[in-house]
Amino acid sequence: MPQTKSSAKASDASATAQGTSTSSRPISVLFVCLGNICRSPMAEAVFASLTASNPGVARIDSAGTGAYHAGDSPDSRTMDTLAENNINDYDHAARKMVATDFTDFDYILAMDEDNLDDLESMRRRLMKKDSSAASHRGQLMLFGDFGGKKGEQVVDPYYGARNGFSVAYEQMVRFTTGFVEQVLTKVENPKNA
């Protein structure tokens, strides 16, 4: 399976430009929300399920901009929604973003604008300390940019109705499908490299 948590550096990538260029090696993708217990684990699980046999994917993970739930399992409503859609093999412990995530992943995909703003601030602060990070940084975007309407956000379902998790699930499937079409079809098959 390509979806291991083994290391792959964004600095090795030749393709980071929103699906317009070609990568000569499999890519890595990090999904990010606030708590890393509802949306980004769901995104990771759906993406892993839908790309399980895709040789263009080297690594998938998820993280939170906050550490409130570090070490926790995904929210039970996320796991229930995954199970309702026959995804039963997902396991994750919540973690906060770390500096190396910005350079280890080719794509860092935020769930909403607040997550994206927080990630941009974190990266700006890091680059002030170490400007070399700028030369091999991953592509920071909204996951929803791959859904057909630029700027689509995944609303945080944590405090909302149970329906919010089903809505998020439908978005994850649609965004993953867009990512596969727009990015993974342009990743060279490593078997041909």
User: Which residues are known to be catalytic?
Assistant: 33, 39, 156
Q: Which stretch binds ligand 4NP (CB under 6 A): 35-43, 96-104, 133-141, 144-152?
A: 35-43
Task: Measure the CA angle with vertex 154, ends 92 and 19; round to 5°.
Answer: 85
Q: Which of 8, 10, 30, 38 binds ligand 4NP (CB under 6 A)?
A: 38
Structure tokens at 142: 């909204």
Q: How far apart are CA 43 and CA 172, in angstroms?
A: 6
Of residues 120 and 130, the one with the C-beta less far from ligand 4NP: 120
Q: Which of 35, 138, 144, 147 binds ligand 4NP (CB under 6 A)?
A: 35
How near is the Cβ of 156 to ligand 4NP at its closest, in Å? 5
The letter for the amino acid at 76 is S
Cβ-proximal residues to 137 (8 Å cutoff; 6+ apart), any chain: 10, 16, 102, 103, 123
Radius of gyration of the chain (CA): 16
* Burial class for 126, CB neighbours closer than 10 Å (0-12, 13-18, 19+): middle
**Would you count residue 36 as binding ligand 4NP (CB under 6 A)?**
yes
**Would you count residue 156 as binding ligand 4NP (CB under 6 A)?**
yes
**Would you count residue 39 as binding ligand 4NP (CB under 6 A)?**
yes
Q: Which residue is nearest to ligand 4NP (CB)?
A: 35
Instruction: Render the burial of 36-56: b for 16+ CB within 10 Å, e for the rest.
Output: bbbbbbbbbbbbbbbbeebeb
Of residues 27 and 109, the one with the C-beta less far from ligand 4NP: 109
How near is the Cβ of 120 to ligand 4NP at its closest, in Å? 17
How near is the Cβ of 75 to ligand 4NP at its closest, in Å? 7
Q: Which of 9, 70, 158, 167 binds ligand 4NP (CB under 6 A)?
A: 158
Contact 30, 105 (CB under 8 A): yes
User: Quick check: helix, strand or coil at residue 142?
Assistant: strand
The residue ranges that bind ligand 4NP (CB under 6 A) are 33-39, 68-69, 156, 158
